[in-house]
């Protein structure tokens, strides 16, 4: 069942997970269309996923990892195909959570069979707005249907059906991935043993909606956007870069930015007095914007941030009341917030924990002190790793 | 000396300050150029200002008001010339601090002679990038020199020289205006009796620099920006709107946004599922963006945010040490921060107050609990007004 393998030629892989190769599966076709929450359906859905470790004979040791906004299925190991597939940003870099997943690591692949799938609407191998619409032979572009967190989770369930996995030992995710983990616990209470929700809350705040709105405004009004039909032309790179720069501010804490950059000038002793890069923090943001444009599709950014906006399980499952919604949950839940995260705040996490407690559900909560803001779920791998390792193992072997 | 007057025709003015008419003065010409901190000089500088109340015989009752990023000289009363001058956004609206300035108001014009001047580089009557360069007869555009907070204050001093005012009873400002008030106390210790610094800190944080950088990025990369030479063409409206939308998020608190908008949909019961306006907070931001583009020049936005970035009195006057810088101050200082202001935080205000205390200077500090974030200095007029009124009056009549 495992797809990661050592490359037969080339250098030794620096990750204990080894070289990985993603797989793609067709999970919807014209005979089995995939219906969407917001309306419409897709007659062709490919899903890209990676897996690490081995599914046991009882098929009860699977752990599903859910990625965040700009993530992909390549959670661990080194991509053996990066050069061939043109995914150059993956060359000489491990998967986005390699520190957490692998033999002897917090999510231990000697024990767990770990799966990570790219979400619908993304641009990393799962069907999205840049994919070809089979009815026209051209990219969907703006004709791609609106997707929601609920769709992602139902599609992941379809993937598990295909892999012969009835029940997950655990589902784990940070940020938008944490919202998927929560949705798993709500939508499929019988299929989830444990749900780990990191740096996430049941819904985005008004301020979070506002940041997403400004990011999308920049993309939608980029001269190259062409109403989303830009695939034969220059992409709306400046709009996407601006959206990413802005989002990056929300991923770091004020305190973290102060320590990392402060008001330090970039490679000079005195300012140039102009509108180019003066301060180190400007240089950092522009770099982040440029790098993102090389690897992400602007339409995917629109669709995925909109999914983030819409997610509201209290509305869907509780008629506006989170406690009512939580009554559906039977998974053991672990929630970790990070003290300086201001995108999904500890306060929001506590509201969720309060709702879980109010309906007598099993919930473990840690507010981890960290200067790294929202990004902490990607950075605080050591302390977070210890918590995750214990939580996944608790209750004996599956 | 007063310029505000009742219109001879037309309706009764709804403000007790009455109808106001701004004045323009030439404060630099080729024989008296105005040298700039960052280098270069201007051979032609006009300054637009308004004044309210009457300068007394001793010429010692003047209070200078310093405006913030997007403000202007029209601080109080109703602009009698708004329709004639095409400043339509001023029609049927009082000046930006009308609640604070006027007869019987916190800054009482029966007692104080109040002046407010538009800053250099702005687009409201004082020379800026949209002004005609006398050497070419065309707008300066990107050839306008970089201006700094220190320049604004020196130009205001030149205005006071012209008006025959040696010493200010007080200088008062919020946000970037508060930084001007601080600069007054530092640069002209002999000319300032009291300095009132509201919702401001001695310098912008790394996070503040980052927000300004993203806003400027949007303007600089707008297809209509044309390296700043857009005055004969369509202006870079989308870039400026995006910058303003983003800035607006930083002016409100998360708490304030939650109470004002939450996740409420805009005029509908269920989402449209698309990329138009769905949430009330999106509608608000887009409105703010559109309205700003009608009244502000994108180049001015670049120059003024850069001035905000550069301001760092600890570096200039204290070799990096704020306490050393504060030793220059002889004014009595009042600082007010607002509990939910995250652009210029209470923590930053306290660092300044600590520096003042460390060198034995007179400082009064209030951290006003308010849900209105950075905007509180414009909104909390009642509670702030009481504090200001007492502080200005303390110590007997001038």
Establish if A256 belongs to a structural domain. Answer: yes
- Residue ending a domain, among B245, B275, B305, is B305
- Residue ending a domain, among B290, B305, B320, is B305
Contact state of A275 with B216 under an 8 Å Cβ cutoff: yes
Q: Are B161 and B154 in contact (CB under 8 A)?
A: no
- Nearest partner of B169 among B117, B113, B116, B118, judged by Cα: B113
Establish if A240 belongs to a structural domain. Answer: yes
Q: What is the pLDDT of residue B245?
A: 98
Contact state of B306 with A206 under an 8 Å Cβ cutoff: no
Query: How do residues B263-296 score in pLDDT, each as one tens digit?
Result: 999 999 999 999 999 999 999 999 999 999 999 9
- Residue ending a domain, among B305, B340, B375, is B305
Task: Please give the Cα distance from A286 to A278 (Å, whole number).
Answer: 12
Mean pLDDT of chain A: 95
pTM: 0.96
Q: Which residues of B are tagged catalytic?
A: 175, 341, 374
Q: Are B96 and B147 in contact (CB under 8 A)?
A: no
Q: Are residues B342 and B195 in the same domain?
A: yes
Q: What is the pLDDT of residue B4?
A: 46
Establish if A2 belongs to a structural domain. Answer: no
Q: What is the pLDDT of residue A7?
A: 47
Q: Are B202 and B176 in contact (CB under 8 A)?
A: no
Q: Which residues of A touch B207 (CB under 8 A)?
A: 249, 252, 254, 257-258
Q: Are residues B354 and B320 in the same domain?
A: yes
- Nearest partner of B278 among A158, A111, A212, A376, judged by Cα: A212
SS3 category, B329: coil
Other Cβ atoms less than 10 A from the Cβ of B275: the count is 19
Chain A 52-71, residues with CB within 8 Å of chain B CB atoms: none
Does the pLDDT at position A217 exceed 90? yes
Residue B71 vs residue B3, higher pLDDT: B71
Q: Are residues B272 and B360 in the same domain?
A: no
* Least trusted range by pLDDT, from A13-17, A21-25, A212-216, B178-182: A13-17
Which of B210, B245, B285 is the closest to A281 by Cβ? B210
Does the pLDDT at position A10 exceed 90? no
Query: How do residues B350-362 score in pLDDT, each as one tens digit?
Result: 999 999 999 999 9
Sequence-distant (6+) residues with CB within 8 A of A317 are A186, A324, A325, A328
Q: Are residues B33 and B125 in the same domain?
A: yes
Whether A134 contacts chain B with CB within 8 A: no
Chain A 277-296, residues with CB within 8 Å of chain B CB atoms: 278-279, 281-282, 285-286, 289
Task: Please give the Cα distance from B296 to B79 (Å, whole number).
Answer: 17
Contact state of A282 with B209 under an 8 Å Cβ cutoff: yes
Query: What are the φ and ψ backbone dihedral angles of B140, each rounded to 5 degrees?
Result: -55, -45
Establish if A8 belongs to a structural domain. Answer: no
Q: Which residues of B touch A282 (CB under 8 A)?
A: 209-210, 213
Q: Are B47 and B119 in contact (CB under 8 A)?
A: no
Q: What is the ipTM of this complex?
A: 0.95
For chain A, what is the domain count? 2
Query: How do residues B114-161 score in pLDDT, each as one tens digit?
Result: 999 999 999 999 999 999 999 999 999 999 999 999 999 999 999 999
Q: Are residues A285 and A346 in the same domain?
A: no
Task: Please give the Cα distance from B203 to B302 (Å, whole number).
Answer: 18
Q: What is the pLDDT of residue A5?
A: 46
Other Cβ atoms less than 10 A from the Cβ of B92: the count is 9
The CATH number assigned to the domain holding B382 equals 3.40.50.1820
Task: Please give the Cα distance from A302 to B375 (Å, whole number).
Answer: 30
Residue A395 vs residue B254, higher pLDDT: B254
Confidence grade of residue A12 (pLDDT, cut at 50, 70, 90) = confident
Does the pLDDT at position A90 exceed 70? yes
Establish if B11 belongs to a structural domain. Answer: no
DSSP annotation of B343: S
Does the pLDDT at position A98 exceed 60? yes
Establish if A369 belongs to a structural domain. Answer: yes
Q: Are residues B50 and B192 in the same domain?
A: yes
The CATH number assigned to the domain holding A301 equals 1.10.1740.110
Contact state of B263 with A203 under an 8 Å Cβ cutoff: yes
Does the pLDDT at position B340 exceed 50? yes
Other Cβ atoms less than 10 A from the Cβ of B368: the count is 20
Chain B 185-224, residues with CB within 8 Å of chain A CB atoms: 203-207, 209-211, 213-214, 216-218, 220-221, 223
Q: Are residues B317 and B372 in the same domain?
A: yes
Contact state of A282 with B312 under an 8 Å Cβ cutoff: no
Q: What share of chain B is helix, strand, coil (3-state, %, to 5)?
A: 40, 20, 45
Q: Are residues A195 and A247 in the same domain?
A: no
Q: What is the pLDDT of residue A92?
A: 85
Q: What is the pLDDT of residue B247?
A: 98
Query: How do residues A257-279 score in pLDDT, each as one tens digit?
Result: 999 999 999 999 999 999 999 99
Q: Are B131 and B139 in contact (CB under 8 A)?
A: yes
* Mean pLDDT of the region A96-117: 98
Q: What is the pLDDT of residue A11?
A: 67
- Nearest partner of A117 among A65, A58, A57, judged by Cα: A65
Task: Please give the Cα distance from B20 to B2 (Å, whole number).
Answer: 9
Task: Please give the Cα distance from B1 to B29 (Å, whole number).
Answer: 24
Mean pLDDT of chain B: 95
Place of tokens 């390549």: A74
* Mean pLDDT of the region A72-91: 93
* Mean pLDDT of the region B157-169: 98
Whether B257 contacts chain A with CB within 8 A: yes
Confidence grade of residue B7 (pLDDT, cut at 50, 70, 90) = very low
Task: Please give the Cα distance from A303 to B275 (Å, whole number).
Answer: 8
SS3 category, A307: helix
Does the pLDDT at position B9 exceed 90? no
Q: Are residues B162 and B216 in the same domain?
A: no
SS3 category, B97: coil
Task: Please give the Cα distance from A235 to A237 (Å, whole number).
Answer: 5
Residue A131 belongs to what domain range?
19-203+314-393
Task: Please give the Cα distance from A48 to A121 (Å, whole number).
Answer: 12
Q: Are residues B362 and B280 in the same domain?
A: no
Query: What are the φ and ψ backbone dihedral angles of A80, each rounded to 5 degrees?
Result: -70, -20
CA distance B153 to chain A (A): 19
Does the pLDDT at position B396 exceed 60? no
Does the pLDDT at position A396 exceed 80? no
* Mean pLDDT of the region A313-331: 98
Q: What is the pLDDT of residue B92?
A: 85
Which of A262, A273, A289 is the closest to B39 by Cβ? A273
Q: Are B311 and B201 in contact (CB under 8 A)?
A: no
Q: Are residues A58 and A184 in the same domain?
A: yes
Confidence grade of residue A136 (pLDDT, cut at 50, 70, 90) = very high
Establish if A4 belongs to a structural domain. Answer: no
Establish if B1 belongs to a structural domain. Answer: no
Q: Are residues A190 and A69 in the same domain?
A: yes
Q: What is the pLDDT of residue B395?
A: 79
Task: Please give the Cα distance from A228 to B24 (Å, whole number).
Answer: 48
Q: Which residues of B touch A242 (CB under 8 A)?
A: 214, 217-218, 221, 242
Task: Please give the Cα distance from B231 to B16 (Å, whole number).
Answer: 38
Whether B144 contacts chain A with CB within 8 A: no
Percent of chain B with pLDDT over 70: 96
């Amino acid at each position: 069942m495992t797809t990661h393998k050592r490359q037969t030629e080339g250098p030794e892989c620096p990750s204990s997970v080894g070289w990985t190769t993603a797989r793609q599966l067709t999970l919807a076709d014209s005979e089995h269309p995939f219906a969407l929450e917001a309306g419409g359906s897709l007659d062709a859905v490919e899903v890209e996923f990676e897996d690490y470790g081995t599914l046991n004979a009882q098929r009860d040791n699977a752990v599903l990892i859910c990625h965040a906004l700009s993530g992909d299925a390549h959670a661990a190991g080194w991509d053996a195909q990066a050069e061939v597939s043109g995914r150059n940003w993956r060359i000489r870099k491990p998967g986005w959570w390699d520190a957490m997943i692998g033999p002897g690591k917090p999510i231990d692949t000697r024990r767990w069979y770990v799966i990570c799938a790219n979400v619908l609407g993304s641009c990393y191998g799962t069907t999205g707005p840049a994919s070809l619409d089979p009815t026209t032979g051209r990219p969907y572009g703006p004709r791609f249907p609106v997707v929601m967190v609920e769709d992602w989770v139902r599609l992941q369930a379809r993937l598990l059906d295909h892999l012969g996995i009835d029940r997950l030992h655990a589902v784990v995710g940070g940020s938008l991935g944490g919202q998927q983990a929560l949705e798993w616990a709500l939508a499929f209470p019988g299929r989830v043993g444990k749900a780990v929700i990191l740096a996430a809350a049941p819904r985005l705040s008004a301020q979070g909606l506002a940041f997403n709105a400004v990011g999308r405004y920049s993309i939608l009004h980029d001269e190259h956007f062409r109403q989303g039909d830009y695939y034969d032309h220059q992409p709306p790179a400046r709009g996407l870069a601006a959206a990413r720069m802005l989002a990056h501010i929300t991923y770091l804490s004020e305190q973290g930015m102060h320590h990392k950059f402060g008001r330090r000038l970039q490679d000079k002793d005195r300012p140039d007095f102009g509108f180019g890069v003066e301060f180190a923090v400007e240089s950092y943001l522009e770099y982040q914007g440029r790098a993102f444009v090389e690897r992400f599709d602007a339409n995917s950014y629109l669709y995925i941030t909109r999914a983030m906006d819409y997610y509201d399980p209290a509305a869907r499952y509780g008629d506006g009341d989170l406690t009512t919604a939580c009554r559906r949950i039977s998974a053991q839940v672990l929630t970790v917030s990070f003290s300086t995260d201001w995108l999904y705040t500890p306060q929001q996490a506590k509201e969720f924990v309060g709702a879980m407690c109010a309906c007598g559900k099993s919930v473990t909560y840690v507010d981890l002190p960290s200067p790294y803001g929202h990004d902490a779920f990607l950075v605080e791998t050591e302390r977070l790793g210890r918590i995750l390792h214990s939580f996944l193992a608790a209750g004996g072997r599956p």
